[in-house]
Structure 1
Amino acid sequence: MTNHTETAPLGLLTGKVVFITGASRGIGAAAARLFAREGASVVLAARSTAALERVVADIRADGGTADAVTMDLADRDSIRAAVARVDDLHGRLDGAFNNGAALQQPGSTETTSDDDIDGQYTVNFRAHWTAMTAEYALMRRSGAGAIVNTSSIGSRRSNPGLPAYGAMKRALNSLTETAAVDWAPHGVRVNAITPGGTDTEMVDAWESEAPGTKDFMIASVPLGRLAEPTEIAEVAAWLLSDRASYVTGAVIPVDGGAGA
Protein backbone atom coordinates (compact mmCIF):
# COMPACT_ATOMS: atom_id res chain seq x y z
CA MET A 1 0.00 0.00 0.00
CA THR A 2 1.14 3.55 -0.70
CA ASN A 3 2.06 5.58 2.36
CA HIS A 4 1.21 9.22 2.88
CA THR A 5 3.43 11.72 1.08
CA GLU A 6 3.75 15.17 2.62
CA THR A 7 2.10 17.78 0.45
CA ALA A 8 3.09 21.39 -0.12
CA PRO A 9 1.48 23.87 2.29
CA LEU A 10 -1.69 25.56 1.04
CA GLY A 11 -1.81 28.39 3.57
CA LEU A 12 -5.01 26.98 5.07
CA LEU A 13 -4.38 28.60 8.44
CA THR A 14 -2.54 31.76 7.44
CA GLY A 15 -2.98 34.48 10.04
CA LYS A 16 -4.77 32.27 12.55
CA VAL A 17 -3.85 31.66 16.19
CA VAL A 18 -4.31 27.99 17.05
CA PHE A 19 -4.04 26.28 20.44
CA ILE A 20 -3.10 22.57 20.53
CA THR A 21 -3.29 20.30 23.55
CA GLY A 22 -1.40 17.05 23.85
CA ALA A 23 1.16 18.65 21.54
CA SER A 24 4.34 17.04 22.83
CA ARG A 25 4.05 13.85 20.76
CA GLY A 26 1.96 11.82 18.35
CA ILE A 27 -0.95 13.46 16.57
CA GLY A 28 -0.63 16.65 18.62
CA ALA A 29 3.02 17.23 17.72
CA ALA A 30 2.33 16.42 14.08
CA ALA A 31 -0.55 18.90 14.13
CA ALA A 32 1.62 21.62 15.64
CA ARG A 33 4.19 21.27 12.87
CA LEU A 34 1.55 21.05 10.13
CA PHE A 35 -0.53 23.99 11.37
CA ALA A 36 2.59 26.14 11.53
CA ARG A 37 3.51 25.16 7.97
CA GLU A 38 -0.03 26.13 6.97
CA GLY A 39 0.58 29.63 8.35
CA ALA A 40 -0.80 29.50 11.90
CA SER A 41 0.81 30.93 15.00
CA VAL A 42 0.61 27.92 17.29
CA VAL A 43 0.57 27.61 21.06
CA LEU A 44 1.44 24.10 22.21
CA ALA A 45 0.33 22.63 25.52
CA ALA A 46 1.22 19.39 27.32
CA ARG A 47 2.75 18.14 30.56
CA SER A 48 6.21 17.49 29.13
CA THR A 49 7.93 20.87 28.95
CA ALA A 50 11.13 19.50 27.42
CA ALA A 51 9.28 17.66 24.65
CA LEU A 52 7.17 20.74 23.90
CA GLU A 53 10.24 22.92 23.65
CA ARG A 54 11.77 20.53 21.11
CA VAL A 55 8.69 20.82 18.90
CA VAL A 56 8.68 24.62 19.30
CA ALA A 57 12.35 24.74 18.35
CA ASP A 58 11.69 22.69 15.21
CA ILE A 59 8.84 24.98 14.16
CA ARG A 60 10.84 28.14 14.76
CA ALA A 61 13.82 26.69 12.87
CA ASP A 62 11.49 26.26 9.88
CA GLY A 63 10.41 29.90 10.14
CA GLY A 64 7.15 29.34 11.99
CA THR A 65 5.68 31.03 15.04
CA ALA A 66 5.28 28.83 18.09
CA ASP A 67 5.15 29.02 21.86
CA ALA A 68 4.76 26.40 24.57
CA VAL A 69 2.83 26.29 27.83
CA THR A 70 3.03 23.48 30.34
CA MET A 71 -0.42 22.06 31.05
CA ASP A 72 -1.85 19.02 32.81
CA LEU A 73 -5.11 17.71 31.34
CA ALA A 74 -6.01 16.31 34.76
CA ASP A 75 -5.89 19.82 36.30
CA ARG A 76 -8.77 22.12 35.38
CA ASP A 77 -7.00 25.26 36.59
CA SER A 78 -3.96 24.31 34.52
CA ILE A 79 -6.10 24.04 31.38
CA ARG A 80 -7.75 27.41 31.97
CA ALA A 81 -4.37 29.01 32.63
CA ALA A 82 -3.00 27.60 29.37
CA VAL A 83 -5.87 29.12 27.37
CA ALA A 84 -5.36 32.41 29.21
CA ARG A 85 -1.72 32.28 28.12
CA VAL A 86 -2.89 32.26 24.49
CA ASP A 87 -4.76 35.47 25.23
CA ASP A 88 -1.63 36.96 26.80
CA LEU A 89 0.49 36.06 23.79
CA HIS A 90 -1.89 36.91 20.95
CA GLY A 91 -4.97 38.63 22.33
CA ARG A 92 -7.31 36.21 20.59
CA LEU A 93 -7.89 32.58 19.66
CA ASP A 94 -9.04 31.47 16.21
CA GLY A 95 -8.75 27.71 16.45
CA ALA A 96 -8.23 24.94 19.00
CA PHE A 97 -7.29 21.30 18.51
CA ASN A 98 -8.08 19.38 21.69
CA ASN A 99 -6.03 16.26 21.66
CA GLY A 100 -5.43 13.95 24.59
CA ALA A 101 -5.27 10.26 25.35
CA ALA A 102 -4.76 8.67 28.74
CA LEU A 103 -3.32 5.19 28.38
CA GLN A 104 -5.71 2.49 29.57
CA GLN A 105 -4.45 -0.99 30.25
CA PRO A 106 -5.95 -3.08 27.41
CA GLY A 107 -8.52 -5.52 28.70
CA SER A 108 -12.15 -6.49 28.89
CA THR A 109 -15.03 -4.71 30.61
CA GLU A 110 -14.79 -6.91 33.70
CA THR A 111 -11.07 -6.25 34.13
CA THR A 112 -11.46 -2.48 33.73
CA SER A 113 -10.77 -0.89 37.09
CA ASP A 114 -12.33 2.09 38.82
CA ASP A 115 -9.02 3.88 38.28
CA ASP A 116 -9.30 3.25 34.53
CA ILE A 117 -12.76 4.81 34.49
CA ASP A 118 -11.66 7.79 36.59
CA GLY A 119 -8.53 8.37 34.51
CA GLN A 120 -10.37 8.23 31.22
CA TYR A 121 -13.12 10.53 32.49
CA THR A 122 -10.59 13.07 33.73
CA VAL A 123 -8.40 13.24 30.64
CA ASN A 124 -10.64 12.23 27.74
CA PHE A 125 -13.89 13.89 28.77
CA ARG A 126 -13.66 16.43 31.58
CA ALA A 127 -10.46 17.95 30.22
CA HIS A 128 -12.13 18.54 26.86
CA TRP A 129 -15.14 20.11 28.57
CA THR A 130 -12.87 22.48 30.50
CA ALA A 131 -10.75 23.34 27.47
CA MET A 132 -13.73 23.86 25.16
CA THR A 133 -15.53 26.24 27.50
CA ALA A 134 -12.37 28.30 28.06
CA GLU A 135 -11.61 28.36 24.33
CA TYR A 136 -15.16 29.36 23.48
CA ALA A 137 -15.10 32.26 25.93
CA LEU A 138 -11.99 33.62 24.19
CA MET A 139 -13.31 33.00 20.67
CA ARG A 140 -16.66 34.59 21.41
CA ARG A 141 -14.97 37.94 21.99
CA SER A 142 -14.09 38.11 18.30
CA GLY A 143 -17.30 36.43 17.14
CA ALA A 144 -15.61 33.55 15.35
CA GLY A 145 -13.57 30.42 15.92
CA ALA A 146 -13.29 26.71 15.34
CA ILE A 147 -12.70 23.83 17.73
CA VAL A 148 -11.72 20.29 16.76
CA ASN A 149 -11.73 17.45 19.28
CA THR A 150 -9.80 14.22 18.85
CA SER A 151 -12.19 11.36 19.51
CA SER A 152 -11.58 7.78 18.35
CA ILE A 153 -12.91 5.07 16.09
CA GLY A 154 -13.56 3.29 19.39
CA SER A 155 -16.31 5.82 20.10
CA ARG A 156 -18.39 4.71 17.13
CA ARG A 157 -18.78 1.02 17.94
CA SER A 158 -18.11 -1.53 20.66
CA ASN A 159 -14.58 -1.31 22.02
CA PRO A 160 -13.91 -4.57 23.92
CA GLY A 161 -10.17 -3.94 24.28
CA LEU A 162 -10.48 -0.41 25.70
CA PRO A 163 -13.98 -0.03 27.16
CA ALA A 164 -13.36 3.02 29.38
CA TYR A 165 -11.48 4.84 26.63
CA GLY A 166 -14.24 4.17 24.08
CA ALA A 167 -16.98 5.22 26.48
CA MET A 168 -15.42 8.60 27.24
CA LYS A 169 -14.69 9.27 23.59
CA ARG A 170 -18.34 8.52 22.75
CA ALA A 171 -19.36 11.04 25.42
CA LEU A 172 -16.99 13.51 23.76
CA ASN A 173 -18.83 13.04 20.45
CA SER A 174 -22.08 14.02 22.14
CA LEU A 175 -20.48 17.05 23.76
CA THR A 176 -19.05 18.08 20.39
CA GLU A 177 -22.46 17.96 18.73
CA THR A 178 -24.21 19.82 21.53
CA ALA A 179 -21.59 22.55 21.76
CA ALA A 180 -21.79 23.01 17.98
CA VAL A 181 -25.50 23.78 18.25
CA ASP A 182 -25.14 25.95 21.36
CA TRP A 183 -22.27 28.03 20.02
CA ALA A 184 -23.24 28.38 16.36
CA PRO A 185 -25.09 31.68 16.97
CA HIS A 186 -21.81 33.12 18.23
CA GLY A 187 -19.77 32.09 15.19
CA VAL A 188 -17.90 29.20 16.81
CA ARG A 189 -17.81 25.88 14.95
CA VAL A 190 -17.17 22.61 16.82
CA ASN A 191 -16.28 19.31 15.19
CA ALA A 192 -14.53 16.07 16.07
CA ILE A 193 -12.43 13.52 14.24
CA THR A 194 -12.38 9.81 14.99
CA PRO A 195 -8.97 8.43 14.05
CA GLY A 196 -8.49 4.74 13.60
CA GLY A 197 -5.19 2.98 14.12
CA THR A 198 -2.43 5.58 14.02
CA ASP A 199 1.29 4.94 14.33
CA THR A 200 1.86 6.87 17.56
CA GLU A 201 3.65 6.34 20.85
CA MET A 202 0.33 5.35 22.43
CA VAL A 203 -0.12 2.50 19.97
CA ASP A 204 3.49 1.47 20.57
CA ALA A 205 2.65 1.26 24.28
CA TRP A 206 -0.41 -0.90 23.52
CA GLU A 207 1.80 -3.14 21.38
CA SER A 208 4.27 -3.58 24.23
CA GLU A 209 1.44 -4.48 26.62
CA ALA A 210 -0.30 -6.79 24.14
CA PRO A 211 2.01 -7.95 21.33
CA GLY A 212 0.18 -8.31 18.03
CA THR A 213 -2.01 -5.27 18.64
CA LYS A 214 -0.66 -3.46 15.57
CA ASP A 215 -1.19 -6.43 13.28
CA PHE A 216 -4.73 -6.83 14.64
CA MET A 217 -5.46 -3.17 13.95
CA ILE A 218 -4.01 -3.26 10.45
CA ALA A 219 -6.04 -6.35 9.57
CA SER A 220 -9.26 -4.35 9.98
CA VAL A 221 -8.14 -1.43 7.78
CA PRO A 222 -9.10 -1.59 4.09
CA LEU A 223 -6.15 0.67 3.21
CA GLY A 224 -3.90 -1.97 4.77
CA ARG A 225 -1.79 0.16 7.11
CA LEU A 226 -1.86 2.42 10.15
CA ALA A 227 -2.24 6.14 9.60
CA GLU A 228 0.68 8.47 10.02
CA PRO A 229 -0.01 11.20 12.61
CA THR A 230 0.23 13.92 9.95
CA GLU A 231 -2.63 12.31 8.01
CA ILE A 232 -4.90 12.79 11.02
CA ALA A 233 -3.65 16.34 11.50
CA GLU A 234 -4.46 17.18 7.87
CA VAL A 235 -8.17 16.66 8.51
CA ALA A 236 -8.04 18.77 11.67
CA ALA A 237 -6.29 21.54 9.73
CA TRP A 238 -9.06 21.59 7.14
CA LEU A 239 -11.77 21.69 9.82
CA LEU A 240 -10.03 24.61 11.53
CA SER A 241 -9.68 26.49 8.26
CA ASP A 242 -12.14 28.78 6.51
CA ARG A 243 -12.48 26.08 3.82
CA ALA A 244 -14.74 24.25 6.31
CA SER A 245 -16.82 27.33 7.14
CA TYR A 246 -20.16 25.46 6.81
CA VAL A 247 -19.09 22.36 8.75
CA THR A 248 -20.08 22.15 12.40
CA GLY A 249 -21.39 19.40 14.64
CA ALA A 250 -19.66 16.76 12.52
CA VAL A 251 -17.86 13.69 13.84
CA ILE A 252 -15.64 12.70 10.94
CA PRO A 253 -14.00 9.26 10.59
CA VAL A 254 -10.31 9.28 9.67
CA ASP A 255 -9.72 5.56 9.81
CA GLY A 256 -8.65 4.20 6.44
CA GLY A 257 -12.09 2.65 5.95
CA ALA A 258 -11.99 0.57 9.14
CA GLY A 259 -15.37 1.85 10.25
CA ALA A 260 -17.08 1.32 6.91
Structure 2
Amino acid sequence: MENTRKNHIDINLCIGKYLDEFNYNTLKVSFKARSIIVIAVPQPVSRIYFTIKMKKKPVIMPPMYLFNTNSKLEKKQKKVIEVTSIVERVLCSINFRAVKINLPCKLLAVGSGLGSYGRNNICYIDDESSFYWIGVYISDMPCENDTWQENKIMDTCKDCNLCLKNCPGGAIANDRFPIHADKCITLYNENEGGFPKWMNSSCHNSLIGCMRCQSVCPVNRKHIDNIEDIAEFDSYETEMILAGTQLYKLPETTYRKLDTINFVEDYNLLARNLKILISK
Protein backbone atom coordinates (compact mmCIF):
# COMPACT_ATOMS: atom_id res chain seq x y z
CA MET A 1 0.00 0.00 0.00
CA GLU A 2 2.80 2.40 0.88
CA ASN A 3 4.62 1.69 -2.37
CA THR A 4 1.48 2.47 -4.34
CA ARG A 5 1.13 5.80 -2.60
CA LYS A 6 4.77 6.69 -3.15
CA ASN A 7 4.86 5.64 -6.80
CA HIS A 8 1.56 7.25 -7.84
CA ILE A 9 1.09 10.76 -6.52
CA ASP A 10 -2.50 11.03 -7.82
CA ILE A 11 -3.55 8.10 -5.64
CA ASN A 12 -2.09 9.65 -2.52
CA LEU A 13 -3.65 13.04 -3.27
CA CYS A 14 -7.07 11.76 -4.27
CA ILE A 15 -7.72 8.77 -2.04
CA GLY A 16 -5.03 9.09 0.62
CA LYS A 17 -7.69 9.97 3.18
CA TYR A 18 -9.38 6.61 2.59
CA LEU A 19 -6.10 4.72 2.87
CA ASP A 20 -5.35 6.50 6.14
CA GLU A 21 -8.48 4.95 7.66
CA PHE A 22 -7.17 1.39 7.46
CA ASN A 23 -6.61 -0.04 10.93
CA TYR A 24 -3.52 -2.22 11.23
CA ASN A 25 -3.52 -2.12 15.03
CA THR A 26 -5.05 -5.17 16.74
CA LEU A 27 -3.86 -4.29 20.24
CA LYS A 28 -7.32 -3.10 21.32
CA VAL A 29 -8.90 -6.48 20.54
CA SER A 30 -9.67 -8.55 23.65
CA PHE A 31 -8.13 -11.71 22.20
CA LYS A 32 -4.93 -12.72 20.45
CA ALA A 33 -5.42 -12.31 16.70
CA ARG A 34 -4.34 -15.51 14.94
CA SER A 35 -6.06 -15.26 11.57
CA ILE A 36 -7.79 -13.00 9.09
CA ILE A 37 -11.15 -14.07 7.70
CA VAL A 38 -12.29 -12.66 4.37
CA ILE A 39 -15.89 -13.12 3.27
CA ALA A 40 -17.81 -12.18 0.13
CA VAL A 41 -21.54 -11.50 0.21
CA PRO A 42 -23.43 -11.60 -3.13
CA GLN A 43 -24.90 -8.19 -3.91
CA PRO A 44 -26.68 -7.58 -7.23
CA VAL A 45 -27.04 -4.26 -8.96
CA SER A 46 -29.84 -2.21 -7.39
CA ARG A 47 -32.50 -0.16 -9.17
CA ILE A 48 -34.38 2.75 -7.62
CA TYR A 49 -37.28 4.64 -9.17
CA PHE A 50 -37.79 8.39 -8.84
CA THR A 51 -40.93 10.05 -10.23
CA ILE A 52 -40.20 13.03 -12.48
CA LYS A 53 -43.20 14.82 -14.05
CA MET A 54 -45.43 11.80 -13.46
CA LYS A 55 -42.92 9.46 -15.11
CA LYS A 56 -40.88 6.89 -13.27
CA LYS A 57 -37.15 7.34 -13.80
CA PRO A 58 -35.10 4.20 -13.09
CA VAL A 59 -31.70 4.86 -11.58
CA ILE A 60 -28.98 2.25 -11.06
CA MET A 61 -26.79 1.80 -8.00
CA PRO A 62 -23.76 -0.53 -8.15
CA PRO A 63 -23.23 -3.48 -5.79
CA MET A 64 -21.68 -2.75 -2.38
CA TYR A 65 -23.46 0.55 -1.79
CA LEU A 66 -26.34 -1.06 0.10
CA PHE A 67 -23.75 -2.09 2.67
CA ASN A 68 -21.64 1.01 3.05
CA THR A 69 -19.64 3.81 1.50
CA ASN A 70 -17.89 4.87 4.70
CA SER A 71 -16.06 2.39 6.91
CA LYS A 72 -16.49 4.68 9.92
CA LEU A 73 -20.25 4.14 9.81
CA GLU A 74 -20.24 0.35 9.57
CA LYS A 75 -21.23 -0.13 13.19
CA LYS A 76 -24.56 1.57 12.35
CA GLN A 77 -25.15 -0.09 8.98
CA LYS A 78 -27.91 -2.71 9.23
CA LYS A 79 -26.60 -5.05 6.55
CA VAL A 80 -23.07 -4.99 7.93
CA ILE A 81 -24.42 -5.62 11.43
CA GLU A 82 -26.48 -8.56 10.14
CA VAL A 83 -23.55 -10.18 8.33
CA THR A 84 -21.18 -9.61 11.24
CA SER A 85 -23.63 -11.23 13.65
CA ILE A 86 -23.68 -14.33 11.42
CA VAL A 87 -19.87 -14.51 11.34
CA GLU A 88 -19.72 -14.09 15.12
CA ARG A 89 -22.42 -16.71 15.69
CA VAL A 90 -20.71 -19.31 13.47
CA LEU A 91 -17.35 -18.84 15.18
CA CYS A 92 -18.89 -18.76 18.64
CA SER A 93 -20.40 -22.19 17.97
CA ILE A 94 -16.85 -23.58 17.73
CA ASN A 95 -15.52 -21.45 20.60
CA PHE A 96 -13.75 -18.76 18.58
CA ARG A 97 -14.27 -15.03 18.19
CA ALA A 98 -14.10 -12.47 15.38
CA VAL A 99 -14.12 -8.69 15.09
CA LYS A 100 -14.87 -6.64 11.99
CA ILE A 101 -11.84 -4.58 11.02
CA ASN A 102 -11.13 -2.01 8.33
CA LEU A 103 -8.32 -3.47 6.24
CA PRO A 104 -7.78 -3.38 2.43
CA CYS A 105 -10.59 -5.76 1.45
CA LYS A 106 -9.78 -6.28 -2.23
CA LEU A 107 -6.09 -6.80 -1.54
CA LEU A 108 -6.84 -9.39 1.15
CA ALA A 109 -9.48 -11.16 -0.94
CA VAL A 110 -7.03 -11.53 -3.83
CA GLY A 111 -4.10 -12.44 -1.58
CA SER A 112 -6.17 -15.11 0.18
CA GLY A 113 -7.22 -16.70 -3.10
CA LEU A 114 -10.89 -15.84 -2.66
CA GLY A 115 -10.81 -13.50 -5.64
CA SER A 116 -8.76 -12.04 -8.47
CA TYR A 117 -8.21 -8.51 -9.69
CA GLY A 118 -9.78 -7.28 -12.88
CA ARG A 119 -8.00 -4.80 -15.08
CA ASN A 120 -10.35 -2.19 -13.59
CA ASN A 121 -8.81 -2.78 -10.11
CA ILE A 122 -12.08 -4.31 -8.90
CA CYS A 123 -12.07 -7.70 -7.17
CA TYR A 124 -13.84 -10.61 -8.85
CA ILE A 125 -14.81 -13.44 -6.54
CA ASP A 126 -13.83 -16.90 -7.83
CA ASP A 127 -13.54 -15.32 -11.31
CA GLU A 128 -17.35 -15.36 -11.29
CA SER A 129 -18.39 -11.71 -10.95
CA SER A 130 -17.60 -8.44 -9.18
CA PHE A 131 -21.06 -8.18 -7.67
CA TYR A 132 -20.09 -8.78 -4.06
CA TRP A 133 -19.52 -6.93 -0.82
CA ILE A 134 -16.26 -7.98 0.83
CA GLY A 135 -15.82 -8.02 4.59
CA VAL A 136 -12.68 -8.60 6.67
CA TYR A 137 -12.53 -9.94 10.23
CA ILE A 138 -9.71 -10.82 12.60
CA SER A 139 -10.15 -13.90 14.74
CA ASP A 140 -8.50 -16.05 17.38
CA MET A 141 -9.16 -19.11 15.24
CA PRO A 142 -5.81 -20.61 14.15
CA CYS A 143 -4.99 -20.67 10.46
CA GLU A 144 -3.84 -24.23 9.78
CA ASN A 145 -3.39 -23.91 6.02
CA ASP A 146 -1.88 -20.66 4.81
CA THR A 147 -3.40 -19.85 1.42
CA TRP A 148 -1.65 -16.51 0.91
CA GLN A 149 -0.56 -15.91 -2.68
CA GLU A 150 0.77 -13.21 -4.97
CA ASN A 151 -1.75 -10.77 -6.39
CA LYS A 152 -3.15 -12.01 -9.66
CA ILE A 153 -5.26 -10.66 -12.49
CA MET A 154 -7.94 -12.75 -14.16
CA ASP A 155 -6.87 -14.60 -17.30
CA THR A 156 -9.85 -13.03 -19.07
CA CYS A 157 -8.24 -9.60 -18.72
CA LYS A 158 -5.06 -10.49 -20.58
CA ASP A 159 -6.60 -10.11 -24.04
CA CYS A 160 -9.45 -7.75 -23.15
CA ASN A 161 -9.62 -3.96 -22.93
CA LEU A 162 -13.39 -3.41 -22.84
CA CYS A 163 -13.32 -1.73 -19.43
CA LEU A 164 -10.51 0.54 -20.58
CA LYS A 165 -12.50 1.65 -23.63
CA ASN A 166 -15.72 2.13 -21.67
CA CYS A 167 -14.30 4.14 -18.77
CA PRO A 168 -15.80 7.65 -19.17
CA GLY A 169 -12.88 9.41 -17.46
CA GLY A 170 -10.06 7.35 -18.90
CA ALA A 171 -9.10 6.18 -15.42
CA ILE A 172 -8.15 2.71 -16.69
CA ALA A 173 -5.05 2.92 -18.87
CA ASN A 174 -2.23 0.91 -20.40
CA ASP A 175 0.57 2.77 -18.65
CA ARG A 176 -0.01 1.15 -15.25
CA PHE A 177 -2.24 -1.26 -13.34
CA PRO A 178 -3.55 1.10 -10.59
CA ILE A 179 -6.28 3.27 -12.03
CA HIS A 180 -5.71 7.02 -12.40
CA ALA A 181 -7.65 8.06 -9.30
CA ASP A 182 -8.10 11.66 -10.43
CA LYS A 183 -10.00 10.47 -13.52
CA CYS A 184 -12.41 8.12 -11.75
CA ILE A 185 -16.09 9.11 -11.72
CA THR A 186 -16.62 7.42 -8.36
CA LEU A 187 -14.11 9.68 -6.62
CA TYR A 188 -16.22 12.72 -7.41
CA ASN A 189 -19.78 11.53 -6.91
CA GLU A 190 -18.94 9.95 -3.54
CA ASN A 191 -17.79 13.32 -2.25
CA GLU A 192 -19.32 16.78 -1.93
CA GLY A 193 -18.43 19.63 -4.23
CA GLY A 194 -18.61 20.31 -7.94
CA PHE A 195 -17.59 18.02 -10.76
CA PRO A 196 -14.50 18.75 -12.91
CA LYS A 197 -15.07 20.44 -16.26
CA TRP A 198 -14.15 17.33 -18.27
CA MET A 199 -16.98 15.36 -16.62
CA ASN A 200 -20.06 15.99 -18.76
CA SER A 201 -23.52 14.52 -18.15
CA SER A 202 -22.84 11.49 -20.34
CA CYS A 203 -20.19 10.32 -17.86
CA HIS A 204 -22.75 9.80 -15.12
CA ASN A 205 -24.57 6.47 -15.05
CA SER A 206 -25.27 5.60 -11.40
CA LEU A 207 -26.83 7.31 -8.41
CA ILE A 208 -23.44 6.93 -6.75
CA GLY A 209 -20.29 5.22 -7.99
CA CYS A 210 -19.96 4.04 -11.59
CA MET A 211 -20.96 0.89 -13.50
CA ARG A 212 -19.22 1.46 -16.83
CA CYS A 213 -16.25 -0.89 -16.34
CA GLN A 214 -18.36 -3.61 -14.71
CA SER A 215 -21.27 -3.47 -17.16
CA VAL A 216 -19.13 -4.41 -20.19
CA CYS A 217 -16.97 -6.99 -18.42
CA PRO A 218 -17.33 -10.47 -19.98
CA VAL A 219 -16.97 -12.08 -16.55
CA ASN A 220 -20.06 -10.20 -15.34
CA ARG A 221 -22.10 -11.03 -18.43
CA LYS A 222 -24.32 -13.72 -16.91
CA HIS A 223 -25.08 -11.56 -13.85
CA ILE A 224 -25.48 -8.09 -15.34
CA ASP A 225 -29.24 -8.43 -15.84
CA ASN A 226 -29.79 -9.60 -12.28
CA ILE A 227 -31.07 -6.26 -11.03
CA GLU A 228 -32.99 -5.87 -7.78
CA ASP A 229 -35.70 -3.20 -7.49
CA ILE A 230 -35.37 -1.85 -3.96
CA ALA A 231 -37.35 1.40 -3.65
CA GLU A 232 -39.68 3.83 -5.40
CA PHE A 233 -40.09 7.52 -4.60
CA ASP A 234 -43.29 9.26 -5.69
CA SER A 235 -43.35 12.70 -7.30
CA TYR A 236 -43.79 14.53 -3.98
CA GLU A 237 -40.86 12.72 -2.38
CA THR A 238 -38.69 13.23 -5.46
CA GLU A 239 -39.45 16.96 -5.51
CA MET A 240 -38.50 17.31 -1.85
CA ILE A 241 -35.22 15.51 -2.42
CA LEU A 242 -34.35 17.57 -5.50
CA ALA A 243 -35.21 20.75 -3.60
CA GLY A 244 -32.63 19.86 -0.96
CA THR A 245 -35.16 19.45 1.84
CA GLN A 246 -33.34 18.77 5.09
CA LEU A 247 -33.32 15.16 6.13
CA TYR A 248 -35.18 15.71 9.40
CA LYS A 249 -37.99 17.52 7.57
CA LEU A 250 -38.77 14.59 5.29
CA PRO A 251 -41.80 12.37 6.03
CA GLU A 252 -41.01 9.22 7.99
CA THR A 253 -41.94 7.01 5.03
CA THR A 254 -39.43 8.85 2.84
CA TYR A 255 -36.75 8.55 5.51
CA ARG A 256 -37.33 4.79 5.69
CA LYS A 257 -36.92 4.51 1.92
CA LEU A 258 -33.65 6.44 2.13
CA ASP A 259 -32.54 4.04 4.84
CA THR A 260 -33.47 1.12 2.57
CA ILE A 261 -31.21 2.39 -0.20
CA ASN A 262 -28.52 3.34 2.35
CA PHE A 263 -28.63 7.05 1.55
CA VAL A 264 -29.28 8.48 5.02
CA GLU A 265 -25.62 9.15 5.77
CA ASP A 266 -24.94 10.28 2.19
CA TYR A 267 -28.16 12.24 1.82
CA ASN A 268 -26.18 15.43 1.18
CA LEU A 269 -25.03 13.88 -2.12
CA LEU A 270 -28.39 12.63 -3.31
CA ALA A 271 -29.94 15.77 -4.83
CA ARG A 272 -26.78 16.70 -6.73
CA ASN A 273 -26.22 13.20 -8.13
CA LEU A 274 -29.87 12.70 -9.03
CA LYS A 275 -30.17 16.05 -10.79
CA ILE A 276 -27.33 15.29 -13.17
CA LEU A 277 -28.77 11.84 -13.97
CA ILE A 278 -32.24 13.12 -14.83
CA SER A 279 -30.83 15.99 -16.89
CA LYS A 280 -29.51 13.54 -19.48
Q: TM-score, normalised by structure 2?
A: 0.28
Q: Where is the helix percentage greater, Structure 1 or Structure 2?
A: 1
Q: TM-score, normalised by structure 1?
A: 0.29
Larger Rg: 2
